[in-house]
Amino acid sequence: MKRAKLIISIAICVIVCTGLLLYNNTKKTSDGSENFVVITDVIPDAILEIRYHSTFNFVGTRVDGYLEPTALMTRQSADSLKVVSDEMKAKGYRLKIYDAYRPQCAVDHFVRWAQNPSDTLTKRYFYPMLEKPVLFEQNYILSRSGHTRGSTVDLTLFDEATGKEVDMGGVFDWFGEESHPDFCGNPDTGEYTGGALTEEQFRNRMLLREVMLRHGFLPIDSEWWHFTLANEPFPDTYFTFPVKRL
């Protein structure tokens, strides 16, 4: 009888321990990060300049949630971006990435910054012609960002021949019409109409845009550097885990 009780006790212990192990493993992946990859694991020659891990950004400080200077995307979007990279490499370019997946706490940080009118440290560099309240009105700052769904990337091109970034006639995260894809031209037809951008600068923007669209990414109207995978796998999910190597 004692032997039977001992066997039962051991069996119960094994069941409980197995259940705890499964529970802990579930907890580890419940944040959704198992659906993401590090972009440079998929595209080893991509250049990373993760602005929100630095102080060189419109907030002027490291942004909440950026624990490491790396870039994450869903597996589907990273695979599509790899096809973009392969085509660009054949043309003599590499991809330079400023941002990709962005946790919700980072978006919340942007909102707090925009709601503080006394903080104008970076105004001359990123929004000299605008006041903070209009950043909400003109959709530069939002309480929800497509980046948080994991299939959006901010990027530019790096020219292998010159060893420099391609001249796009504007900088990442500039708040103003100069960043719009239709500034000085028609992005649908590729027609250059003249203005503050040179024709070469406009053509450079269109090169990036055309290749991204050809491989399944969609642009937005306000930023030449911003693209989202059209068939994104998590269109209604806003993730919260931090940016760091997985």
Give me the tens of pLDDT residue by residue for the chain, a chain 246 residues long.
555 454 445 444 444 444 444 444 444 447 999 999 999 999 999 999 999 999 999 999 999 999 999 999 999 999 999 999 999 999 999 999 999 999 999 999 999 999 999 999 999 999 999 999 999 999 899 999 999 999 999 999 999 999 999 999 999 999 999 999 999 999 999 999 999 999 999 999 999 999 999 999 999 999 999 999 999 999 999 999 999 999
Model confidence, pTM: 0.88
The pLDDT of residue 13: 46
The pLDDT of residue 109: 98
Confirm whether 241 is domain-assigned: no
- Single-letter code of the amino acid located at 120: T
The pLDDT of residue 5: 53
33: which 2 tokens? Answer: 């990060």
Q: Total domain count for the chain?
A: 2
Phi-psi region of 176 (alpha: psi -120 to 50; beta: other; left: phi over 0): left
16: which 2 tokens? Answer: 């409980």
Residues 94 and 216 in one domain: yes
Q: How far apart are CA 157 and CA 37, in angstroms?
A: 21
The pLDDT of residue 98: 98
Count of all residues that appear for the chain in the document: 246
Q: Which residues are catalytic?
A: 223
Confirm whether 234 is domain-assigned: no
Which residues form the domain of 145? 34-229
Confirm whether 243 is domain-assigned: no
Residues 2 and 60 in one domain: no
The pLDDT of residue 30: 78
Residues 177 and 225 in one domain: yes
Q: What are phi and psi of 163, to 5 degrees?
A: 70, 25
Distances (CA, A) of 168 to 6, 118, 131, 222: 74, 31, 25, 14
Q: How far apart are CA 154 and CA 233, in angstroms?
A: 18
Q: How far apart are CA 192 and CA 200, in angstroms?
A: 9
Residues 139 and 45 in one domain: yes
Q: How far apart are CA 3 and CA 122, in angstroms?
A: 74
The pLDDT of residue 8: 47
